[in-house]
Amino acid sequence: MSLENAVAIVTGGAMGIGFAIAEDLAARGAAVVIADQSDAHAGAQKLVANGHRAVGVKTDVTSKADIEAMVSIAQKEFGRIDILVNNAGIYSTLQPKPFEQIDVAEFRRIMDVNVMGVFLCCRAVVPVFEQQGAGRIINISSGVAFKGNPLMAHYVASKGAVVSLTRALATELGPRGILVNSVAPGFTLSDGVERNPALVAGVKEPSLRNRVIGRSMTPADLVGAVAFFASADAAFITGQTLVVDGGAYFH
Residue in 240, 241, 181, 184 with CA at minimum distance from that of residue 217:
184
3-class secondary structure, 154: helix
Rounded to 5 degrees, what are φ and ψ at 213? -90, 105
Asked if residue 181 lies in contact with residue 241, where contact means CB atoms within 8 angstroms, the answer is yes
- Catalytic option among 129, 155, 187, 229: 155
Tell me, yes or no, if 249 is annotated catalytic: no
- Round to whole Å and give the CA distance between 227 and 231: 6
- Contacts with 222 (C-beta within 8 Å, 6 or more apart), sequence order: 17, 20, 21, 183, 185, 188, 244
Beta bridge partners of 35: 11, 57
Contacts of residue 127, Cβ cutoff 8 Å, sequence gap at least 6: none
CB within 8 Å of 60: residues ≥ 6 apart: 37, 66
User: Which residues 6+ apart lie within 8 Å of 197 measured at CB?
Assistant: none
* Packing angle, helices 153-173 and 104-111, rounded to 10: 30
Torsion sign, CA atoms 111, 113, 116, 122: negative
**Catalytic residue list:** 155
